[in-house]
């Protein structure tokens, strides 16, 4: 091996230009190939993020739904979540104005899935969350996130009678502290922040500045839109679309108001379908112009580098063969010469690929930084895994260990609810974290176990707490619905059972001095 390395080193020492040319070609080839792959992957991840923002919860959107209808919907068993957002006026200057509003209900934030780039939503009077492009336009900044914590003043304008985007009359000024910056993927996507309310109201813009609700004058004339979620993300079935249509028709008959928009698919379903290849990416939209340019340049660089590398390799191999023939003439075997070839090219390729990888990732990170600063694109790195896949593949034991280690020293007691199917998984997790946490209790089985105990290192444990709900049921649900699901293997929406209820619980007694559990007791109330 030493002899082979000596011969290789000596040869390349006297052929520095050829060595540098080949190494450079491999570095460029690797770097640009990596950049192209990572940029394409980044754009795919941005589309996943768009799907999440665009799908959100399954919901209907109503404009100016009356208070009576709102109260009735709130009590409707088909509704899993409902929230209202108000459009109160416009802020800006005499040339450019942006609608401002507020969440009347906290649930509206979750339903709409408005994404924060930094900071938080307002929590008290005098605070506001503002879209990044608003700050860019009003203050000519390329770093809207730097405005978090700053106090700003906008001219205030009212809405006209039709709630159109025309300029209203000036009514004063509003001063607030920016607590959060809302994120858009790019300026070309601003139109997605508008909702088509129909020809009667033309195009009304969603709030681009969110104030605290106490800072908005809300009355019966305030324009309000209501988001109504009929199902959670894990409840979407084939019957969802027809059920939503039935819901819309019911309330149209009652109120004469038809929802302006609606979706019958969950965000998780959309993302997982793309991730698993069940849906094709929209080739016309998922690659931005800037990324397409980078990809084209990368492809050209890769082709040129490959041609250059091939030409240099032919020349080098021809000359190299002459020197290796001399080695064979002085007694080296064919195997030894072959090993020199393999080792020589192996070292060259490995060195080039490593250097190219470093260069490629560095350039890629620079591109992401430029896109983030000037185009306001989120830094979604191409070498990370999608949210959907992470949820499926994360190791709970690894994650639990990391979370516990992060919490130790910061809190006195750590309780873990381990939601798992198999009892063996829960027992293993309890033993795994014994002595590191205060207690671990399992859930999901819905049947209380009789194995409550204090483990050898002091951690309290029970495999399953049980459930609280109707006793005459199948894990709290109507037994007839469960029978139908098992008999037909067809999807059927679960229905809560009725009748007398039971309560399962566990009582832990903790020592105030040691923060260790000194006793554990099951509670069963029939």
Asked if residue 412 lies in contact with residue 515, where contact means CB atoms within 8 angstroms, the answer is: yes
pLDDT-derived band at 141, boundaries 50, 70, 90: confident
**Across residues 194-223, what is the average pLDDT?**
68
500: CB partners within 8 A, 6+ apart: 470, 471, 472
Q: Which residues pair with 417 in a beta bridge?
A: 441
- Are 157 and 194 contained in the same domain? yes
| 218 contacts 104 by C-beta, under 8 angstroms | yes
Strongest mean pLDDT among 231-240, 282-291, 375-384, 511-520: 511-520
Give ∠ CA 362-364-366 in degrees, rounded to 5: 70
Q: Examine the domain organization and report whether 115 and 175 are in the same domain.
A: yes
CB-CB contact of 91 with 81 (8 Å): no
10-14, 39-43, 417-421, 481-485, range with the lowest pLDDT: 10-14
Contact present, 372 and 379 (Cβ < 8 Å): yes
Q: Residue 454 — pLDDT band, cuts 50, 70, 90?
A: very high
Question: Of 88-102, 255-269, 374-388, 468-482, where does mean pLDDT reach its minimum?
Answer: 255-269
Which segment, 6-20, 39-53, 87-101, is predicted with the most confidence on average? 87-101
Compute CA 50 distance to the chain's CA centroid, rounded to the nearest angstrom: 10
Rounded Cα distance, 279 and 271, in Å: 9
Same domain flag for 518 and 486: yes
Query: Which among 234, 265, 296 is the end of a domain?
Result: 265
DSSP SS3 for 517: strand
Are both 18 and 69 inside the same structural domain? no
- Is residue 97 domain-resident? yes
pLDDT one-digit tens code per residue, 391-446: 556 788 988 998 899 888 889 999 999 999 899 999 999 999 999 999 999 999 89
406, 410, 429: which is closest to 419 by C-alpha?
429
Pairing of strands 97-103, 81-92: antiparallel
**Taking Cα atoms as reference points, which of 375, 193, 380 lies closest to residue 288?**
375
Q: CA–CA separation, 255 vs 216, rounded Å?
A: 27
CA–CA gap between residue 356 and residue 27 (Å, rounded): 4
Is residue 229 within 8 A of residue 263, CB to CB? The reply is: no
Structural domain count of the chain: 3
Across the range 118-142, mean pLDDT stands at 89
| Cβ–Cβ under 8 Å, residues 54 and 185 | no
More confident residue, 96 or 392: 96
Would strands 151-157 and 170-182 be described as parallel, antiparallel, or unpaired? Answer: antiparallel
Note whether residue 387 is domain-resident: no
Residue 386 located in a structural domain? no
C-beta separation of 183 from 376 below 8 A = yes
- Give the integer Cα–Cα distance in Å for 518 and 514: 10
pLDDT at 208 over 70: yes
State whether 221 and 356 are in the same domain.
Answer: no
**More confident position, 354 or 305:** 354
Residue 102: what pLDDT? 92
Q: Which domain holds residue 200?
A: 58-265
* 75 and 39 together in one domain: no
Q: Provide the pLDDT for residue 162.
A: 46
Mean pLDDT score, 500-517: 93
Separation of alpha carbons 470 and 300, rounded Å: 67
| The pairing of beta strand 460-462 with beta strand 439-443 | parallel
User: Residues of 209-244 as b/e, b for ≥16 C-beta within 10 angstroms?
Assistant: bbbbbebbeeeeebbbbbbbbbbeeeebeeebeeeb
pLDDT of 490 over the 50 cut: yes
Distances (CA, A) of 85 to 36, 57, 70, 261, 297: 42, 16, 12, 15, 45
Q: Which helix (H) or strand (E) holds 402?
A: helix 396-407
Q: Is the pLDDT of residue 106 over 70?
A: yes
Shared domain for 194 and 303, answered yes or no, is no
Mean pLDDT of the chain: 77
pLDDT confidence of residue 290: 57
Regarding whether 506 and 447 lie in a shared domain, the answer is yes
Among residues 439, 475, 478, which one has the least CA distance to residue 457? Answer: 439
Q: Does residue 204 or residue 214 have the better pLDDT?
A: 214
Query: pLDDT for 316-367, tens place per residue?
Result: 666 666 666 655 655 566 666 666 667 777 778 888 899 999 999 999 999 8
Contacts of 301 (CB under 8 A, 6+ apart): 28, 32
Tokens 């000194």 belong to residue: 518
415 and 460 in a single domain? The answer is yes
Q: What is the pLDDT of residues 367-380, one digit of tens each?
A: 888 877 776 666 77
Spell out the alpha helix ranges (H) of 408-523.
Answer: 423-432, 479-488
CATH of the domain at 513: 3.60.21.10
Assess whether 400 and 498 both reside in one domain: yes
Q: Is residue 135 part of a domain?
A: yes
- What CA–CA distance (Å, rounded) separates 49 from 39? 15
249 and 213, same domain (yes or no): yes
- Coil vs helix vs strand at 308: helix
> Is 469 among the domain residues?
yes
Lowest mean pLDDT among 219-228, 331-340, 466-475: 331-340
Helix ranges restricted to H, 93-239: 107-112, 132-139
In a 3-state reduction of DSSP, which class is residue 241? helix
Average pLDDT over residues 65-89: 88
382 located within any domain: no
Residue 470: pLDDT over 70: yes
Residue 272 lies in a domain: no
220 vs 496: which has the higher pLDDT: 496
Cβ atoms within 10 Å of 365's Cβ, excluding its own: 13
The answer for residues whose C-beta is within 8 angstroms of residue 358's C-beta and 6 or more apart is: none
- Domain membership of residue 274 (yes or no) is no
- List the single range of 98-107, 157-166, 254-263 with lowest mean pLDDT: 157-166
- 104 Cβ neighbours under 8 A, 6+ residues apart: 83, 84, 85, 86, 213, 218, 224
What is this structure's pTM?
0.49
72 and 25 inside one domain: no
Cα separations in angstroms, 129 against 118, 209, 223, 434: 10, 6, 20, 44
Distances (CA, A) of 501 to 183, 325, 464, 467, 472: 46, 90, 18, 10, 8
The pLDDT of residue 188 is 34
pLDDT tens per residue, range 377-395: 667 787 776 555 565 567 8
Backbone angles phi, psi at 267, to 5 degrees: -60, -45
**Which residues, in sequence order, are CB contacts of 431 under 8 Å at separation 6+?**
455
Judge whether residue 120 has pLDDT over 70: yes
- Provide mean pLDDT across the span 197-219: 70
The pLDDT score that the predictor gives to residue 495 is 82
Place of tokens 């019957």: 239
Over residues 26-50, the pLDDT tens digits come to 888 888 888 888 887 887 777 666 6
d(CA 447, CA 154): 58
Kindly report the number of other CB atoms within 10 A of residue 67's CB atom.
10
């Amino acid at each position: 091996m030493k002899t082979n390395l000596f011969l290789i080193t000596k040869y390349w020492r006297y052929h520095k230009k050829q060595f540098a040319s080949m190494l450079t070609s491999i570095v460029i080839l690797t770097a640009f190939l990596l950049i192209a792959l990572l940029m394409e992957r980044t754009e795919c991840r941005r589309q996943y993020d768009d799907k999440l923002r665009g799908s959100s919860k399954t919901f209907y959107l109503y404009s100016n739904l009356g208070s009576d209808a709102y109260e009735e919907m709130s009590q409707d068993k088909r509704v899993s979540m409902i929230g209202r957002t108000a459009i109160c006026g416009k802020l800006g200057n005499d040339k450019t104005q942006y609608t401002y509003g507020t969440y009347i209900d906290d649930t509206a934030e979750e339903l709409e899935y408005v994404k924060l780039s930094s900071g938080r939503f307002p929590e008290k009077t005098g605070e506001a969350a503002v879209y990044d492009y608003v700050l860019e336009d009003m203050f000519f900044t390329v770093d809207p996130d730097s405005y978090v914590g700053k106090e700003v003043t906008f001219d205030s304008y009212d809405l006209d009678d039709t709630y159109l985007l025309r300029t209203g009359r000036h009514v004063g000024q509003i001063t607030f502290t920016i607590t959060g910056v809302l994120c858009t993927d790019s300026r070309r996507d601003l139109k997605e922040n508008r909702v088509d309310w129909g020809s009667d109201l033309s195009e009304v813009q969603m709030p681009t500045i969110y104030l605290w609700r106490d800072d908005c004058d809300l009355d019966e004339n305030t324009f309000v839109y209501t988001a109504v979620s009929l199902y959670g993300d894990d409840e979407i079935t084939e019957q969802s679309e027809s059920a939503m249509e039935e819901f819309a028709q019911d309330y149209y008959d009652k109120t004469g108001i038809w929802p302006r928009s609606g979706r019958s698919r969950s965000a998780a379903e959309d993302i997982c379908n793309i991730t698993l290849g069940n849906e094709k990416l929209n080739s016309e939209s998922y690659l931005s112009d800037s990324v397409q340019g980078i990809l084209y340049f990368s492809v050209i660089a890769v082709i040129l580098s490959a041609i250059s590398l091939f030409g240099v390799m032919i020349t080098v191999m021809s000359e190299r063969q002459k020197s290796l023939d001399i080695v064979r003439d002085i007694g080296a075997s064919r195997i030894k010469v072959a090993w020199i070839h393999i080792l020589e090219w192996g070292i060259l390729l490995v060195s080039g690929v490593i250097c190219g990888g470093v260069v490629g990732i560095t350039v890629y990170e620079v591109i992401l930084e430029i896109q983030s600063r000037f185009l306001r694109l989120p830094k979604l790195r191409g070498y990370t895994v999608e949210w959907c896949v992470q949820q499926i593949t994360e190791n709970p034991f690894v994650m639990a260990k990391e979370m516990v280690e992060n919490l130790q020293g910061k809190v006195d007691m750590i309780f873990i609810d381990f939601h798992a199917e198999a009892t063996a998984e829960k027992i293993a997790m309890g033993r795994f974290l014994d002595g590191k946490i205060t207690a671990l209790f399992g859930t999901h089985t819905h049947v209380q176990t009789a194995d409550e105990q204090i483990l050898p290192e002091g951690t309290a444990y029970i495999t399953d707490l049980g459930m609280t709900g109707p006793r005459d049921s199948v894990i709290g649900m109507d037994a007839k619905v469960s029978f139908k699901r098992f008999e037909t293997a067809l999807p059927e929406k679960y229905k809560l059972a009725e009748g007398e209820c039971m309560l399962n619980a566990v009582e832990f007694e903790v020592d105030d001095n040691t923060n260790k559990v000194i006793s554990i007791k099951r509670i069963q109330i029939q």
